[in-house]
A and B are shown apart, each in its own frame.
Chain A
């Protein structure tokens, strides 16, 4: 150890401690953004494990760089010496070069190995599949549509069973744009790409409700394309989905779906009262089945075709709701 380094050792220790203490103190307060927020699925736990592992190494490397740098800055500052006063003419050291080539290689091998050890949890968590086990997730401008295997549809509200692996088949209608499905507390995100289906296997662990965000800029209302994942017990999940499917075959149930569609697909731009926001006020149009059908199916000049690929049942659910909600043509 060169004498300069030995002399600086106390300073290094003090500095490292000063840097580490607030980090530890802050980490204690939970979800202050010092780790991925409140991991609530096996996938998210895997990601959190990777985070803490890589963060520890990053902290060590940061100190390996900055502590000597700060020590050198203090120790070798000019302090009034002349600019002509040169340091020793050291041009390099093969041994040091080899050392700081080998060390990062070792670190990235360790990081990579740990990541692949945890990859299974994140990408393909083990455990029983939920029943029904596949949910179709469609990102659409600017709402999420979820279709369960029994045909039940929900808008912006996704139900998932706890402790079960659910395959989310994530896509977007072919005429839509790219979105990205992300429930931060549940972990990994996956792009919803028109004409392509991505499978994301999620295994939520804790019952509760978690926000969904769109993570790919998808246009005008990208920022408010939010949804909710509700994680409930397996039996509760089955009964919710079954009830939803059954209800949507009745007039009341369809109206409830119509309300969801209106609030998810229409109100983001036309306002919850149809009063107009980004898009125009719904005015006399809302009650006109033919116009609504055309606009919703094909879109307008700037309006996205929010209803492309909707089933007739969905479409009539919306028109029935609109006719009911805005009997005189609506607006205001």
Chain B
């Protein structure tokens, strides 16, 4: 494999094998690659479920996958994409990149790091395995609202709770590890204002996880007790409150959205300056915006509950906080656009994804402003309008950035680039397929199509938009498969190796060899700015010219 095995500190014979060395590894780079590849496998599962749902919804009154089978798909699609794809894929990139970016030898707690990864695998197995449970997988939505989730028969819901508990432990351990690493292991000269923006994003990602995951754990535990121990925290028949669960869940659930999108912001903030051949515009503003977004994300949760019938005063509070988040988000977008001004824009695949991200994420952000206005949300809440909105933010945001990150850091991970031609196909197929899939869903929501329905009946525009959406989903699937073909085809020996710094990057990971040795760096240059590698290149250039 691409990353060289570390020398075991103790001679444990079984850990030196080709596969065993990956199982026993505590090296952050290998764990990062394991995280990313495992998340990509789950991405295929979750994506296949989405394709099945779009097949069912392509035509009216279709009979392909109906009722609880469909409900299982929609529940597990959401759960997988959030907990097994986006959150862990960022943990993977953070694992690989953060220690390199801050000039550290490894994560602060390498074994805890391996523990996080294997808990993630276990959680994933429990969740996917729940399809074989009595009564099938969970089928009450990725948020599992009681009383429905308490009444749900079979073991799927219990395994769902168990799986999320395991993933919570995994994410908490990882988050604490990132925080300790970033706070303590930055190399000489790397002050907070010289920290790469991706590292800043992971810092806030980690803090948000630490703050909100306990709320999820509490909610899920009470739910489990209601299901299995005869308690009635959320059961109105015995005086419990189903609304309480919604508050607890969304106190976790909305910051979770920013857990998924802040690292994406980080990636975009790394990629755009490197491919625009300019410094990032407004570094401090971008840091400030991320901190503010992180803080505000803790105060907006009840905008998921505008249809619950909360007092108008309370809804007003959440309207104000939700709209406020648009301000720092806008600052980020404007700064990214400004970074491209007068640049030397090189459209390699990472840049294509980053520029595509700006366009689709802006659309998702704007529809987010719309649904923050609660009287309007009363119309479109739980309709396909929201499905469109959240996919513009989560797919158009997080997944576009994930592809940018894959193409950007692939040479660092494996010593060679992914193919440029296939990368361009990959981007355009997904970009077009994505917009065909999700843009018409805004219209479906406005026409009155609720979410989470296994079938629909309608004519004219209903048929047109649903069909376009399903065709778009198929195009997207082809585009994503192009990436996997590329990833498998571009292997050692088939494609030329590139140097340590193929993109002429700004940050320290490009100072290490590609792939980096187990100890990362023989020595690390003293950091005097947020772009230590460019400084180094210039010093070398001056040395040659002198």
User: Given the complex, which residues of B lie within 8 Å of A191, measured CB to CB?
Assistant: 307-309
Residue contact A178 to B145, C-beta cutoff 8 Å: yes
Given contacts A46-B375, A54-B370, A77-B345, contact A215 B382 (CB under 8 A): yes
From A28-36, A248-256, A259-267, the one touching the partner chain is A28-36
Residue contact A87 to B140, C-beta cutoff 8 Å: no
* Chain A 214-229 interface residues, beta-carbon cutoff 8 Å to B: 214-224
Residue contact B342 to A87, C-beta cutoff 8 Å: yes
Residue contact A90 to B323, C-beta cutoff 8 Å: no
| A213 lies within 8 A of chain B by Cβ | yes
Given contacts A78-B347, A178-B242, contact A37 B446 (CB under 8 A): yes
Residue contact B344 to A194, C-beta cutoff 8 Å: no
User: Given the complex, which residues of B lie within 8 Å of A51, measured CB to CB?
Assistant: 370, 376, 379
| A276 lies within 8 A of chain B by Cβ | no
Residue contact B307 to A62, C-beta cutoff 8 Å: no
Name, among B153, B307, B330, B337, the residue most crowded by chain A CB atoms within 10 Å (CB to CB): B307
* Complex-state Cα separation, A50 to B377, whole angstroms: 10
| A6 lies within 8 A of chain B by Cβ | no
* Complex-state Cα separation, A215 to B380, whole angstroms: 10
CB distance from B451 to the nearest CB of A (A): 7
Residue contact A123 to B312, C-beta cutoff 8 Å: yes
Residue contact B342 to A76, C-beta cutoff 8 Å: yes
Residue contact B453 to A174, C-beta cutoff 8 Å: no
From B23-31, B91-99, B102-110, B454-462, the one touching the partner chain is B454-462
Produce 1/0 per residue, B4-24, CB < 8 A to A: 000000000000000000000
User: Given the complex, which residues of A lie within 8 Å of B324, measured CB to CB?
Assistant: 108
Residue contact A33 to B147, C-beta cutoff 8 Å: no
User: Given the complex, which residues of B lie within 8 Å of A211, measured CB to CB?
Assistant: 448
Q: Which listed residue (B279, B340, B456) contacts A72, Cβ 8 A?
A: B340
Q: Which residue of B lies closest to A183 (CB)?
A: B448
* Complex-state Cα separation, A188 to B374, whole angstroms: 10
From A96-104, A238-246, A280-288, A321-329, the one touching the partner chain is A96-104
Produce 1/0 per residue, A204-218, CB < 8 A to B: 000000010111111
* Complex-state Cα separation, A44 to B285, whole angstroms: 40
User: Given the complex, which residues of B lie within 8 Å of A96, measured CB to CB?
Assistant: 282, 334, 338
CB distance from B384 to the nearest CB of A (A): 9
From B203-211, B357-365, B417-425, the one touching the partner chain is B357-365
| B277 lies within 8 A of chain A by Cβ | yes
CB distance from B502 to the nearest CB of A (A): 9
* Complex-state Cα separation, A33 to B358, whole angstroms: 25
CB distance from A308 to the nearest CB of B (A): 9
CB distance from B240 to the nearest CB of A (A): 8
Residue contact A77 to B446, C-beta cutoff 8 Å: no
Q: Which listed residue (B283, B375, B382) contacts A188, Cβ 8 A?
A: B375
| B346 lies within 8 A of chain A by Cβ | yes
Produce 1/0 per residue, A83-99, CB < 8 A to B: 11111111111001100
Residue contact A115 to B376, C-beta cutoff 8 Å: yes
Residue contact B331 to A97, C-beta cutoff 8 Å: yes
Tally of chain B residues near chain A (CB < 8 A): 89
Q: Which residue of A lies closest to B380 (CB)?
A: A36
| B478 lies within 8 A of chain A by Cβ | no
CB distance from A234 to the nearest CB of B (A): 25
Residue contact A222 to B452, C-beta cutoff 8 Å: yes
Given contacts A78-B347, A184-B448, contact A189 B382 (CB under 8 A): yes
Q: Which listed residue (B71, B327, B375) contacts A108, Cβ 8 A?
A: B327
Residue contact B345 to A65, C-beta cutoff 8 Å: no
Residue contact A62 to B366, C-beta cutoff 8 Å: yes
Name, among B153, B236, B279, the residue most crowded by chain A CB atoms within 10 Å (CB to CB): B236
* Chain B 130-150 interface residues, beta-carbon cutoff 8 Å to A: 140-141, 145, 147-148
User: What are 15 A-B contacts with C-beta separation under 8 Å?
Assistant: A33-B461, A61-B366, A68-B337, A69-B355, A72-B341, A88-B278, A92-B282, A92-B335, A97-B285, A108-B327, A178-B242, A180-B381, A182-B448, A222-B454, A223-B67
B residues with CB within 8 A of A: 67-68, 70-71, 140-141, 145, 147-148, 151, 153, 236-237, 241-243, 276-279, 281-285, 307-309, 312, 316, 319-320, 323-324, 326-327, 330-331, 333-335, 337-338, 340-347, 355, 358-359, 362-363, 366-367, 369-370, 373-376, 378-383, 440, 442-448, 450-456, 461, 465, 503-504
